[in-house]
Structure 1
Amino acid sequence: MKREILYALPFILLLFVSMSNETLLIDHDDKKQFLVTDYGAVPDGTTLNTKAIQKAIDAAHKRKKGGKVVFTKGKFLSGSIELKSNVTLFFEEGAVLLGSTNPTDYKKMDFEGRPVSPKKDDNSQMALILAHKANNIKLAGKGIIDGQGLELALKIDSLHHAGITIDPNYNVKRHRPNETMRPKLFRFSQCNNVEVRDLKVGEAACWGLSFELCNNLVIDGLTVVNRSYWNNDGMDITDSKNVRITNCNINSADDGICLKSYYPGYANDSIYIANNVIRSSASAIKFGSASYGGFKNVTIENIQVFDTFRSALAFESVDGAVIENINVNNVVAKNTGNAFFIRLGHRDGEKSGVVKNISIKNVKVEVPFGRPDIDYDLRGPEVNYFHNPFASSIAGIPGHHIENVSLENIEISYPGRASKSMAYIPLSRLAQVPEEVKGYPEFTMFGELPAYGLYVRHASGISMKNIKLTLQNEDFRPAFVFDDVKGIIANEIELPKSSKGQFILKDTEKIELDVESSNLIEKY
């Protein structure tokens, strides 16, 4: 009998652990419920429920174990509400939280205790849902959070023109109030243990979901449609650690998933972005342009990109940030203006940043001849010159190289049709490509590029393996231009047939090129 009990003991312990875990999950998911309707909220889409919703949140927060604030079926109109520790906002199927279209219903949170940022007032501190130093918070359910951003932004614009609420930074050229005057959908700062799951969210007057200096953040299963107005990023992650963004479908009039760094000495660190579908009138996944601290240990995999005007992938350090240890795997981009853009500049900050150790593999991209985002109502601004379709680029600045970039299993289809009558730069004048050391980082920043496939300047340690470039029509430019590059290893390169040079080398050394014909290599 004792032996039987001894043999059964491990299974008993396993059963006990399983029951314990199940109990913990039940405790987490079945928190005491606080229905917003019990606190006076009216789901008619017209009654302003800000105070009633906040009362429900405050009541759940005061409870020792926290609670679940529930939005039942109906439309709940609200201004800014503040989410607090140990509170879940749960939206039942058919529940809709509508952002007020009255600008005075939004408050600006001070977010005291943050580190000093050179650009601390560069983006809006207002939002429909705010959280500051809140821990163990969650938003989930099958409902909708709709910022009603177009109507809200137009009212903000009208107040400016009426002289009631003046925007000192009003964008006269594009006839719109600055983003600092327009509320976001979410604005979370210095929060720990945050989950946002399964909701349909978006239509803000500014950025969609904004998380700053947060730790342990999970964003999963969201549908994000944020294309009501200008500066409509899908989601922005600023100097946060241990972040997972998975299984989301994002459609945004500005950058889809944007990592930013506003604080020197801080960084986005340990970021996992996977299994997302992204459409954007700007870039799909972007680091920057705010880039003061860093972007470290980031994994991006299993991403689908569609109808995106700018870059499928953009990594930008222009304010002193360190970008390092970035791994990209399995990206398919159809109808996008640019495959990838890697940039080290010196726009701001005390010293130039660092960009190193980037691996991009298993990527397939289709670049069209026309605008990829033509079906957007609000599109990215046109470039200021006639141009040919742009190559991918890896571009540092004089004296500061981008280091150790590995490209493997990359296939990019280009439209060709480039014309020498469109901003032609001959290979004998490669120095004519501007440096733009202080320029705003964008794949079009250099104007016409002298390569159709990949342009590399001021870089060290470039490795390329199994690279296939195709042209739908002829292009007079070569496939590759390397200018001031130290260390190139290229194997298994497949290009359209050509009788002229396809690897252009200028001030380049330590070269290992596995090329069938030597006439494909030209030095300048």
Structure 2
Amino acid sequence: MSKIKLKLFLIALMGSLFSIGFECQAQKSTQSQKDFLITNYGSKGDGKTLNTIAIQKAIDAAFKNKGGRVVFPKGKFLSGSIVLKSNVTLYFEEESVLLGSTNSKDYFNMAFDGRPDSPKKDDNSQMALILAHKANNIALQGKGTIDGQGLQLALNIDSLHHAGIAVDPKYSLRRNRPSETMRPKLFRFSQCENVAVEGLKVGEASCWGLSFELCTNLVLDNLKIVNRSYWNNDGIDITDCKNVKVTNCDINAADDGICLKSYYPGYCNDGVYIANCTIRSSASAIKFGTASVGGFKNVTIKDIKVYDTFRSAIAIESVDGGKIENIEVSNVEALNTGNAIFIRIGQRSGYKPGSIKNINIKNIKVQVPFGRPDSNYDLRGPEVDFFHNPFPASIVGLEGYAIENVTLENIEINYPGRASKGMAYIPLNRLHQVPEVAKEYPEFSMFGELPAYGFYVRHANGISMKNIKLTLDAADFRPAFVFDDVKNLKMESINLPNEKEKQLVFKNVISSNIEKQLEEQVLEIQH
């Protein structure tokens, strides 16, 4: 077993042990915890009465008791921002619903003191329905529902802006909607330790759904997340957290499904385990970035099902100087998904390029459609604003900043074909036409038309491909692979459609090791 695989195995084992320990601790504490029924503090489950003060009184009472369960019984309880405190569990009985207020005045920005300075301005609000800051041993559990009522809340915020009552200085005229700074999230937890969210139905925020930053020992399990009320509706956002376990979640999001972010230099997401999740997204299913200041390391992703997703099944991006390393992805099945794999080093303004290395991706099966995968959904990702043929998977660094040591094994991708030179065309003798776009927002469509239908790889060192199968529903005039400025390329057991033209294009490829039967498929492009 390699050192990298051993390290990833130990991370997964530690995550399991942590989860077991946390569950045992939770069970033990639940047995001795006192219950604080919110209706005893004045809450009314009629869906109309604003219960913010009453719910907060129950939380405060449990906190003063040095711990307890704040119980939501059957009913619909309307509330604005509430603050969860140490050693308190919010427990939602079956048929209990926490409804987010649709009045923006019922939410507030929580002051998160002690956060490290970030060179990247955080444009997202600190407002949320449920807030927690430096709270330890906290949980949200049960069989109930947390519904942010985000569409009506966002429309009310929009109306207040146009009426001049609560003007949004960052209002988007182009997109005709209020900015993220004005729209509350569902959860916003910062600098918390020992956090568990389990068994609930949650979502419908006016912005991000479940947002965690700088937290340690985080367990998200058996959640049904539907967050497609409005724009920027990510499912789960995890920022610079340690020891994270996300399992058995069903996520349906209008934006990224599970998004790992990094805003703080010297910090990173470290020790993240994501498994047994189903994801549908009008953006990317699982994404590293876009915020990528510190970085991401020691991440295991396995047993994931993706469907009807507009962008990438897996997107790994370092565009703010962050280091990404020791990433293991396996057993991913993506149906009706716009792109299989996108790995990118970029350089957004003011940041030195970061690094991506030691990426192991195996047992991946993806079906890419010809049209939009999310066309049947009310909220759809923004259209690509240029004519193009279907996009390939891509691994693209920058000149002088190569993506290093990427292993792709047991990968099967079905492409639609139907590419037309009349739609868009980059001749193989003009590969330099593919722009670097170092400072652009990272996305699999960012380079414009690409000259390969299967994989486009540029500025990379140490790419190993084994047992790769590409299929086409219809003919595609482009080659399967284009490698440009690539060192130490290894290819073994490559299964391609029977095409007359050569299917591997090499430009400035140094030290390649490919099977003999593939050699006749290689077209060398001179400088």
TM-score in terms of structure 2 length: 0.94
Structure 1 residue 28: Cα displacement: 2.9
CA–CA distance in structure 2, aligned partners of residues 60 and 512 of structure 1: 64
The residue number in structure 2 matching 1:55 is 57
CA–CA distance in structure 2, aligned partners of residues 368 and 481 of structure 1: 21
Structure 1, 125-134 or 512-521: larger mean CA deviation: 512-521
The residue number in structure 1 matching 2:48 is 46
Structure 1 residue 488: Cα displacement: 0.4
Structure 1 residue 22: Cα displacement: 7.8
CA–CA distance in structure 1, aligned partners of residues 56 and 493 of structure 2: 61
CA–CA distance in structure 2, aligned partners of residues 495 and 23 of structure 1: 53
The residue number in structure 1 matching 2:448 is 447
Q: State the Cα deviation string for residues 60-93 of structure 1 (Å, max 9, x = none).
A: 00113x0000000000000000000000000000
The residue number in structure 2 matching 1:27 is 29
The residue number in structure 1 matching 2:477 is 476
Structure 1 residue 155: Cα displacement: 0.3
Q: Which amino acid aligns with 2:139?
A: K
The residue number in structure 2 matching 1:100 is 101
Residue 294 of structure 2 contacts residue 322 of structure 2 at CA under 8 Å; is this kept in 1? yes
- Summarize the alignment of residues 315-326 of structure 1 with structure 2, pairs less than 5 Å apart: 315-326=316-327
The yes-or-no answer on 1:342 pairing with 2:346 is: no
Q: Which amino acid aligns with 2:51?
A: N
Structure 1 residue 27: Cα displacement: 3.5
CA–CA distance in structure 2, aligned partners of residues 259 and 113 of structure 1: 22
Residue 320 of structure 1 contacts residue 349 of structure 1 at CA under 8 Å; is this kept in 2? no
Q: Which runs of 5+ in 1 are unaligned?
A: 1-20
Residue 454 of structure 1 contacts residue 479 of structure 1 at CA under 8 Å; is this kept in 2? yes
SS in 2 for 1:304: strand
Q: Which amino acid aligns with 1:163?
A: G
- Summarize the alignment of residues 305-316 of structure 1 with structure 2, pairs less than 5 Å apart: 305-316=306-317
The yes-or-no answer on 1:464 pairing with 2:465 is: yes
Q: State the Cα deviation string for residues 274-303 of structure 1 (Å, max 9, x = none).
A: 000000000000000000001000000000
The residue number in structure 1 matching 2:188 is 187
Q: State the Cα deviation string for residues 364-415 of structure 1 (Å, max 9, x = none).
A: 0000001000111010000011111110000001111000000000000000
Residue 45 of structure 2 contacts residue 78 of structure 2 at CA under 8 Å; is this kept in 1? yes
CA–CA distance in structure 2, aligned partners of residues 500 and 71 of structure 1: 65
Structure 1 residue 350: Cα displacement: 3.9
Residue 47 of structure 2 contacts residue 76 of structure 2 at CA under 8 Å; is this kept in 1? yes
Q: State the Cα deviation string for residues 427-462 of structure 1 (Å, max 9, x = none).
A: 000000000010100000001110000000000000
The residue number in structure 2 matching 1:127 is 128
- Summarize the alignment of residues 365-444 of structure 1 with structure 2, pairs less than 5 Å apart: 365-444=366-445
Structure 1 residue 23: Cα displacement: 9.6
The residue number in structure 2 matching 1:113 is 114
- Summarize the alignment of residues 242-257 of structure 1 with structure 2, pairs less than 5 Å apart: 242-257=243-258
CA–CA distance in structure 1, aligned partners of residues 524 and 87 of structure 2: 64
The total of aligned residue pairs comes to 503
Residue 250 of structure 1 contacts residue 279 of structure 1 at CA under 8 Å; is this kept in 2? yes
The residue number in structure 2 matching 1:8 is none
The residue number in structure 2 matching 1:89 is 90
CA–CA distance in structure 1, aligned partners of residues 431 and 425 of structure 2: 11
% same residue: 70
Q: State the Cα deviation string for residues 340-382 of structure 1 (Å, max 9, x = none).
A: 1000011144421010000000000000001000111010000
Q: State the Cα deviation string for residues 93-114 of structure 1 (Å, max 9, x = none).
A: 0100000000000010110110
SS in 2 for 1:42: coil
Q: Which amino acid aligns with 2:475?
A: E
Q: Which runs of 5+ in 2 are unaligned?
A: 1-22
- Summarize the alignment of residues 105-254 of structure 1 with structure 2, pairs less than 5 Å apart: 105-254=106-255
Q: State the Cα deviation string for residues 245-275 of structure 1 (Å, max 9, x = none).
A: 0000000000000000000110000000000
SS in 2 for 1:119: coil
Q: Which amino acid aligns with 2:125?
A: S
Change (3 A) 1:58 1:517: closer
Structure 1 residue 515: Cα displacement: 4.6
Structure 1 residue 156: Cα displacement: 0.2
TM-score in terms of structure 1 length: 0.95
The residue number in structure 1 matching 2:3 is none
Q: Find the structure with the greater CA-based Rg.
A: 1
SS in 2 for 1:516: helix
Residue 120 of structure 2 contacts residue 293 of structure 2 at CA under 8 Å; is this kept in 1? no
The residue number in structure 2 matching 1:5 is none
Q: Which amino acid aligns with 1:204?
A: A
Residue 30 of structure 2 contacts residue 69 of structure 2 at CA under 8 Å; is this kept in 1? no
